């Protein structure tokens, strides 16, 4: 029987992720990509809105990519499939490692969006799903709906760093209880915090920092901390 485990078992997310909101096609992003993957695969965190798709274009052909779809007011959950089709075209890929809902919808029920995300795991165009910028109530609901669809929520992404620790009260414990990987965006508070303190703080707490840098030296520094301190979550 042919071994298709590579197709059915998603790759581990790894201890640290590359933030790409400033990636644009060209030599700077290419150098950053090379630095991030010099010693093995790394998850690249993108979104359809980053640079209006140019972040995704800068990641064309990359092995491990997460992208985020925006539930714009003019979009309905049925539009998620078309949005992912466009993202996959920019990424020159047939599947993404993760597809996240970038924000919850403000005034409407979020469940249709979570069902649309889960459907993409069934089609194979996403290997896992997650949500970002959700409060605890929205997260609980997303988790419940995802389970109903047979696709457990794999990641939650929120802002978390030394000077912003609100997620420690409820969101992080919820993730820990349910085996969800927590991804900390803006781990350096946009570059204000020293990485020597900010990254160990997160890695020691078994969360995955999403570090936004285009500087290969800063990439190597971040990878160095992750090697020293990582063993992040049950799924990593």
Ligand X SMILES: NC(=O)c1ccc[n+]([C@@H]2O[C@H](COP(=O)([O-])OP(=O)(O)OC[C@H]3O[C@@H](n4cnc5c(N)ncnc54)[C@H](OP(=O)(O)O)[C@@H]3O)[C@@H](O)[C@H]2O)c1
Name which of 79 and 216 has its Cβ closer to ligand X: 216
Does 70 bind ligand X (CB under 6 A)? Our answer is no
| Inter-axis angle of helices 171-178 and 136-148, nearest 10 | 20
From 113-121, 137-145, 172-180, 212-220, give the range in contact with ligand X by CB under 6 A: 212-220
Q: What is the C-alpha to C-alpha distance for residues 23 and 26, in angstroms, rounded to an integer?
A: 9
Considering only residues 109, 191, 197, 204, which one is a binding residue for ligand X as defined by CB under 6 A? 191
Residue 221 binds ligand X (CB under 6 A): yes
Total length of the chain? 236
Question: Could you give the CA distance from residue 91 to residue 156 in angstroms, rounded to a whole number?
Answer: 22
Near ligand X by CB under 6 A: residue from 13, 14, 15, 20: 20
The single residue among 212, 225, 226, 232 that binds ligand X, judged by CB under 6 A, is: 212
Binding mask 105-134 for ligand X (x = CB under 6 A): ---------------------------xx-
Identify the residue among 57, 125, 186, 206 touching ligand X (CB under 6 A): 186
**In whole angstroms, how close is the CB of 197 to ligand X at the nearest point?**
11
From 215, 224, 227, 228, residue interacting with ligand X (rule: CB under 6 A): 215
Distances (CA, A) of 211 to 2, 45, 171, 193, 215: 38, 9, 20, 12, 11
CB of 114 to ligand X, least distance (A): 16
Nearby residues of 224 by Cβ (< 8 Å), 6 or more positions away = none
Q: Encoding tokens for residue 160? A: 């978390």
* 158-to-76, 135, 232 alpha-carbon distances in Å: 23, 9, 16
The alpha carbon of residue 232 and the mean position of all alpha carbons in its chain are separated, in whole angstroms, by 15
The strand pairing partners of 45, in sequence order, are 19, 66
- Among 88, 93, 156, 214, the residue binding ligand X under the rule CB under 6 A is 214
71 binds ligand X (CB under 6 A): no
Helix, strand or coil for residue 132? strand
Based on the shown chain and the rule CB under 6 A, indicate whether residue 14 belongs to the binding site for ligand X.
Answer: no
Query: In the range 21-50, which residues lie near ligand X by CB under 6 A?
Result: 21, 45
Closest distance to ligand X from the beta carbon of 80 (Å): 17
Strands 155-159 and 17-19: what pairing? Answer: unpaired
By CB under 6 A, residue 211 contacts ligand X: yes
Cβ(180)–Cβ(208) below 8 Å: no
Phi and psi dihedrals of 182, rounded to 5?
-95, 125
Query: Interface residues with ligand X (CB under 6 A)?
Result: 19-21, 45, 132-133, 157, 185-191, 195, 210-215, 218, 221
């Amino acid at each position: 029987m042919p071994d298709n485990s590579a197709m059915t078992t998603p790759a581990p997310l790894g201890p640290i992720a590359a933030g790409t909101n400033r990636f644009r096609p060209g030599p700077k992003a290419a150098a950053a990509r090379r630095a991030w993957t010099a010693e093995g695969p790394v998850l690249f965190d993108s979104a359809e809105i980053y640079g209006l798709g140019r972040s995704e274009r800068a990641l064309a052909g990359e092995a491990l990519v997460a992208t985020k779809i925006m539930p714009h007011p003019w979009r309905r959950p049925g539009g998620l499939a078309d949005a992912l089709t466009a993202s996959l075209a920019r990424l020159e890929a047939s599947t993404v490692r993760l597809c996240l809902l970038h924000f919850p919808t403000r005034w409407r029920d979020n469940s249709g969006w979570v069902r649309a995300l889960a459907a993409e795991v069934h089609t194979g165009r996403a290997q896992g799903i997650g949500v970002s910028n959700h409060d605890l109530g929205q997260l609980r609901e997303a988790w419940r709906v995802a389970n109903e669809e047979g696709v457990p929520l794999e990641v939650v992404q929120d802002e978390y760093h030394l000077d912003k620790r609100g997620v420690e009260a409820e969101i992080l414990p919820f993730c820990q209880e349910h085996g969800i990987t927590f991804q900390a965006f803006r781990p350096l508070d946009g570059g204000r915090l020293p990485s020597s303190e900010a990254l160990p703080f997160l890695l020691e707490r078994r969360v995955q920092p999403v570090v936004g840098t285009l500087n290969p030296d800063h990439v190597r520094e971040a990878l160095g901390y992750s090697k020293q301190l990582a063993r992040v979550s049950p799924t990593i």
